[in-house]
Amino acid sequence: MARYPLRLLSLCAALSAGHCAFAAVTLQVTASAHTEAAKGVTNPPADSRQVMDVTLSDDYTAVKMPKVELIYDFKSRRYRVLDTVNKVYVDYSLYSFAGFRAMELKNRENVNAMLAKAKIDTPLSRQVDREHELSVADGEAVKIDESAGDGMLEFSSEGRKLASWSKAGAKVGAADAARFAQFLRYTQAGHPQLLARLAGDGVIPGRLTFIVNTGVGVRTVSISVADVKSARPPAYDLKGYTPRAARPGDAVGGLAGELDIMLDRMAALTPERIAALRAAHPCDTAADYRDDQLLDTMLGRTECVLATGEPMLPFTPAQLEKMREDPAVALMLAAVSPKNKEEYEGAVKTLAELRKQAPRKAYVLKLLEANNRLRLGQRKESLRLFGEVLEANPVLGGAYKDLGDLLLLTGDSPRAWRSWDIGRAIAPKVPNFTVVNDFEAQLLKRYPEFF
């Protein structure tokens, strides 16, 4: 039972309210997880136990654990990871959660369909299990059965148990119940139908269990909730914290560590510093045209489009004719639109060779090469090239779009959105980001419960 201050309880009674809806509640959540590995699986996820002090506020949810605090800010749609020991934080996009899960759900559906078509002797995952693990649903709603007994509500589908929670718990307002379900969505699991059912009860149960078939085994998450209290927390702030500045050796090292260094540096830039960087990397003008460096000239004008989103500076008819006749320019243009694996492989070699003929703008060729290598599945090589491109010109906005695409393909949605956010802050007019903006709008419409 929630322990409300006597004055507030008296006020509730005076108003003859069925319950008092508070602006926030605090609670302690303990979540323990154990996986029974499927046959043939030798390395199932390790058992885990987390104790979390949680604040469910109007605009944000805060989750405190030893050495780290997570802030889910629904007003700004940001997600902040606070290192409470070193007093630094990293800022991410909330869209990265819904975006990854929506794409992962679609990917698993496609894999399931391919396995079924190939008639491979492998147990196929159920739609309800995929949706239960990822907390997103797509297509026709699955049937979930509910039963009650011994003070518990039980939920199953096709005879397999999905979840249960106690009827007893802390009575809270509708907004607080919805925030609790949202907390579970982000940090634990739960089918969207179950979380909607939980949010609708206006109760934070004392005990919950989620049973998730992950494909590598059955993972049971046991959750206990204690010390539910009303609260009036202020809007959170980051006083005493500074943005993380990754250093060599931080994060996971290697290319990912170098990537964090670059992303941290760019994410911390003020508008004034961005303007200074742009001034240090100006676009080519008509005066930069060179008859003896036609490839460099073309790359310079292409770079400006990717850096600003403005239309390409036009060539005069005579200059355009020379561009059409230049062999190096022709090779570059052919290398940006290969049609099959053999042509992609040839294009990668061509772009690398052409660097010798582009003394000023060879890094723009590296950007084209990075995208071709990405399509060949050479993700490590592509990531290295993106890093070299952005070291050469850190305000090349379109490169952040392509880098984010690569990171999303590797499942690294938090860094993908960091890259896209940096690119949009630097060059919001670059048309390449339209697809990202549209994707976010689609996520907001299809999965409003995340926001």
> Three-class SS string for 187-206?
HCCCCHHHHHHHHHCCEEEC
What local confidence, expressed as pLDDT, does residue 5 receive?
Answer: 39
What local confidence, expressed as pLDDT, does residue 250 receive?
Answer: 53
Same domain, 53 and 178: yes
What local confidence, expressed as pLDDT, does residue 153 receive?
Answer: 96
Arithmetic mean of pLDDT, 292-314: 96
Arithmetic mean of pLDDT, 241-260: 68
Find the domain containing 329 and state its range: 249-450
**CB contact at 8 A, 390 and 400:** yes
Query: How far apart, in whole angstroms, are the C-alpha atoms of residue 147 and residue 345?
Result: 59
Calculated CA dihedral for residues 353, 359, 365, 366, nearest 10 degrees: 90
Domain membership flag for residue 239: no
Selection from 374, 373, 233, 357 nearest residue 299 by Cα: 357
Query: How far apart, in whole angstroms, are the C-alpha atoms of residue 19 and residue 9?
Result: 9
In 309-361, where does DSSP find H-type helix? 317-325, 327-335, 341-354
Domain membership flag for residue 421: yes
> DSSP character for 3?
B
User: Is residue 38 pLDDT above 90, yes or no?
Assistant: no
**CB contact at 8 A, 231 and 22:** yes
In this structure, what token pair is assigned to residue 349?
């070699």
Q: How many residues does the chain have?
A: 451
Domain membership flag for residue 112: yes
Residue 391 backbone class (left: φ over 0; alpha: ψ -120 to 50; beta: rest): alpha
Q: What is the pLDDT of residues 393-406, one digit of tens each?
A: 999 999 999 999 99
Bigger pLDDT: 20 or 418? 418
Q: What CATH number has the domain bearing residue 423?
A: 1.25.40.10
Same domain, 290 and 403: yes
What local confidence, expressed as pLDDT, does residue 115 receive?
Answer: 81
Selection from 44, 110, 79, 48 nearest residue 185 by Cα: 79
In this structure, what token pair is assigned to residue 347?
């294009």
User: Is residue 310 pLDDT above 60, yes or no?
Assistant: yes
The neighbouring-strand residues paired with 67 are none
Query: How far apart, in whole angstroms, are the C-alpha atoms of residue 113 and residue 137?
Result: 17
- Domain boundary (163, 196, 231) is at 231
Same domain, 24 and 75: yes
Quickly state the pLDDT bin for 437 (edges 50, 70, 90): very high
Same domain, 181 and 73: yes
Number of domains forming the structure of the chain: 2
- Identify the sign of the CA torsion 233, 75, 224, 206: positive
User: Is residue 74 pLDDT above 80, yes or no?
Assistant: yes
Domain membership flag for residue 297: yes
DSSP 394-429: TT-HHHHHHHHHHHHHTT-HHHHHHHHHHHHHH-TT
The neighbouring-strand residues paired with 212 are 219
Question: How big is the CA angle at 53 (ends 52 and 58), to the nearest 5 degrees?
Answer: 120
Lowest mean pLDDT among 90-94, 121-125, 269-273: 121-125
Domain membership flag for residue 109: yes
Same domain, 390 and 419: yes
Same domain, 218 and 257: no
Same domain, 372 and 307: yes
> What does pTM read for this prediction?
0.88
**CB contact at 8 A, 239 and 263:** no
- Domain boundary (196, 231, 266) is at 231
Domain membership flag for residue 175: yes
Quickly state the pLDDT bin for 248 (edges 50, 70, 90): low
User: Is residue 20 pLDDT above 60, yes or no?
Assistant: no
Same domain, 351 and 428: yes
Arithmetic mean of pLDDT, 33-45: 86
Q: What is the pLDDT of residues 181-203, one digit of tens each?
A: 999 999 998 999 999 999 998 99
Arithmetic mean of pLDDT, 32-36: 94
Quote the mean pLDDT of the chain: 90
Query: How far apart, in whole angstroms, are the C-alpha atoms of residue 430 and residue 258?
Result: 25
Domain membership flag for residue 240: no
Arithmetic mean of pLDDT, 239-265: 75
Q: What CATH number has the domain bearing residue 212?
A: 2.50.20
What local confidence, expressed as pLDDT, does residue 39 receive?
Answer: 82
Same domain, 441 and 409: yes
Bigger pLDDT: 383 or 123? 383
Q: How many helices (H) and strands (E) does the chain have?
A: 16, 14
- The helix or strand, by DSSP H or E, that contains position 363, with its residue range, turns out to be helix 362-375
3-state secondary structure of 1: coil
Same domain, 210 and 322: no
Domain membership flag for residue 381: yes
Same domain, 227 and 360: no
